[in-house]
Chains A and B, each alone.
Chain A
Amino acid sequence: MQYGVGLVEVMRRLATVLAIAFMAVMLAASFLGGSSYSAQHREFIDAAPSFQFPLGTDDLGRDRLVRLLHATRISLLFAGAASLGATLVAALLGGIAGYAGGWFDRILVRVIDLLLALPSLFLLLATRAMMPLNASPISTLLVTYALMSLMGWLSPARVIRAGVRNSRDSEYVLQARAEGCTERRILLRHILPNLRPIMVAQFWTSIPVFILTEASLGFLGLSASEPFPTWGSLMRELQNPLLAPVEAFAPIAAIALSVSCFKLINPWRGSQA
């Protein structure tokens, strides 16, 4: 007698498939699209959408669609990399704290509490704003994501620490000790495999967070500098939203789509833990 539940699930799957398909097309197109993201078409400045430029051109005469496709590639890649970095740092520090306990654990927990209490967006803005204006575009890109990664390990570290603690104090680890397993074996064969779903979940949920943070930074003009296109830096066109043409809102659609895509697909759903 559960008619409603099935419908919601069907809608969820349909949305998931659509979202994945769209992202896949955008990623594929960015590799196929031959045009350069920085090429300027001086005779078509601020052009309206046409067959040649489906999303029009920006104030420097650059093809918006080409830039959006490249931005998709860069944003997804770097959000993924930053998330991986944050999860690895979190796993290392949270893992040691949870397993060893003692003074390291106490200090780490205090440090995490302290850093989480800071308004992280302002910290990012301040640090990023301290970079010299003539820094190369690639270094601004790397620094932006590295900063997000540095701020992003805090809550995953907490979750992983709790997971390691649970596992360490569990009955199956006590049982493994009673079997005479070495500490190394207990760590590698009994504790780590049980952390895998937690780490995958942390990795996966961090990606949309980084995408959104980068978008906020980019809107304020503090993400990767020109001419690098990221979803965030494309949003600079929207700083005066009343003057921006409709097609300039495309990055927002891409961000909304990818973020909901990451929230809809949860790879740890069917895992054993």
Chain B
Amino acid sequence: MKSYTIDSLLSARISADYPDRPGVLRDVELEIAPGEIVGLVGESGSGKSTLATALLRLLESRGGKTRGELRFQGRNLLELSNREMRRVRGREIGLVLQSPLSALNPAMRIGHQILESWRAHREGSPDLLQLLEMVNLPPEAAFLERYPRQLSVGQAQRVLIAMAIVHRPALLIADESTSALDVVTQAEILNLFSSLNRQMGMAVLYISHDLLSVGSFCHKISILQHGRMVESNSSEEIFRNPQHPYTQALLAAIPRLPTFPRTTNCHRVAVPA
């Protein structure tokens, strides 16, 4: 049995199954220290989203089952009652789901939506405008009146992040939060996660299929393949010295900028003004 260090925020060793698909996750080990940004990389179907929902014990609501040990701030979450677990969700661990537009309730205005996640645990109301400002949305009352269909994908993503950080959880899980976005918005959201991490000391589990974006801001990277954690190391080590063949393949697949030889047949390159 592995001994757990006191300073780890979350340390998990879990397996997960669906009735029709056993072994979606097999003995996946994950360790997150307070204030750390951990990247989780894997291809589609490798079990990334299952892991994200399993960490909040939400797999049951979709017919799945989680086994193993899931220690978060000293407690084994798998042993909590439903009521105790509900208090952890949103308040201590926040989740930002994959597709921003479908994760927002189409019948609810943005302001109400954010208020809902506040009221799940507390009375009254947070400072909504300040919250909008924190996630770089226009801090205007009119914005809170909008419906999800009136938002761009990037804005919807920020609203979801605002909802997830409303209780300042110790851990924020972001599931493929940038894969639906264009490159510029993607970079903005990544910056937002970094600054939330710095300002609030919030640990982030950032899930993506894109090793390059993960490497740019995560302290640690874990690689998931077919429901198994094949490699887990600091970002530097992953990029410099990948051990597992799958990690090496992922690295080799990263597109590189074209390199131009010094002597070239091309005499002039036209650069539009």
Instruction: Name A residues whose Cβ lies closer than 8 Å to a Cβ of B.
Output: 169-172, 174-182, 185, 189-190, 193-194, 196, 272-273
Interface secondary structure of B, over-half rule: mixed
B90 within 8 A of A: yes
- Does the CB pair A178–B89 fall under 8 Å? yes
Contacts A193-B108, A272-B107: A174 and B147 contacting too (C-beta < 8 A)? Answer: no
Asked whether, in the complex, the Cβ of A175 is within 8 Å of the Cβ of B97, the reply is yes
| Cβ-closest chain A residue relative to B99 | A171
B121 touches A273 (CB 8 A): no
Using A179-B90, A181-B120, A193-B107 as known contacts, say yes or no to A171 and B62 having CB atoms under 8 A apart: no
CA distance A190 to B53 in the complex (A): 19
A175-B160, A178-B95, A272-B147 as given contacts; A170 in contact with B121, CB under 8 Å = no
A272 to B61, CA, bound (A): 27
- Asked whether A178 lies within 8 Å of B106 as measured between CB atoms, the reply is no
> How many Å lie between the Cα of A194 and that of B103 in the bound state?
14
> Are A196 and B107 neighbours in the complex by a CB distance under 8 Å?
yes
- B106-121 near A? 1/0 per residue, CB < 8 Å: 1110000000110111
Q: A184 to chain B: closest CB distance in Å?
A: 11
**Shortest CB–CB separation between residue A255 and chain B, in angstroms?**
35
Cα distance, A174 to B164, chains bound together (Å):
13
Assembled-state Cα–Cα distance A174/B104 (Å): 10
Asked whether, in the complex, the Cβ of A180 is within 8 Å of the Cβ of B121, the reply is: yes
Known A-B contacts A176-B116, A272-B149; A171 and B97 likewise in contact (beta carbons under 8 Å): yes
Q: B44 contacts the other chain (Cβ, under 8 Å)?
A: no
List of B residues within 8 angstroms of A194 by Cβ: 105-107
**Interface pairs (17), CB distance under 8 Å:** A171-B102, A172-B102, A172-B104, A176-B116, A177-B61, A177-B89, A178-B89, A179-B89, A179-B117, A180-B87, A180-B88, A180-B120, A181-B117, A185-B119, A193-B105, A194-B106, A273-B107
Q: Which residues of A contact B103 (CB under 8 A)?
A: 171-172, 174-175
Q: Are the CB atoms of A179 and B102 closer together than 8 Å?
A: no
For the complex, count residues of B whose C-beta is within 8 A of A: 33
Within B60-84, the residues touching A (CB, 8 Å) are 61-62
Extra A-B contacts (10), CB below 8 Å, given A171-B97, A171-B102, A194-B107: A171-B98, A172-B106, A174-B103, A175-B160, A178-B58, A178-B97, A181-B117, A185-B120, A190-B108, A273-B106
C-alpha spacing A171/B107, complex, angstroms: 13
A177: contacting residue among B58, B102, B107, B163, CB under 8 A: B58
Contacts of B116 in A (CB 8 A): 176, 179, 181, 185, 189-190
Residues in B whose Cβ lies below 8 Å from that of A178: 53, 56, 58, 89-90, 94-95, 97
Output the least CB separation between B105 and chain A (Å): 4
* Residues 25-65 of chain B, each 1 if its beta carbon lies under 8 Å from chain A, else 0: 00000000000000000000000000001001010011000
Q: Which residues of B contact A171 (CB under 8 A)?
A: 97-99, 102-103
Residues of chain A with a CB closer than 8 A to B89's CB: 177-180
Least CB distance, B118 to chain A, in whole angstroms: 9
Considering the complex, give the chain B residue whose CB is closest to the CB of A189. B116
Query: When A and B form their complex, which 6 residue pairs have the shortest distance between CB atoms, in order from nearest?
Result: A180-B90, A179-B90, A180-B89, A178-B95, A179-B117, A193-B107
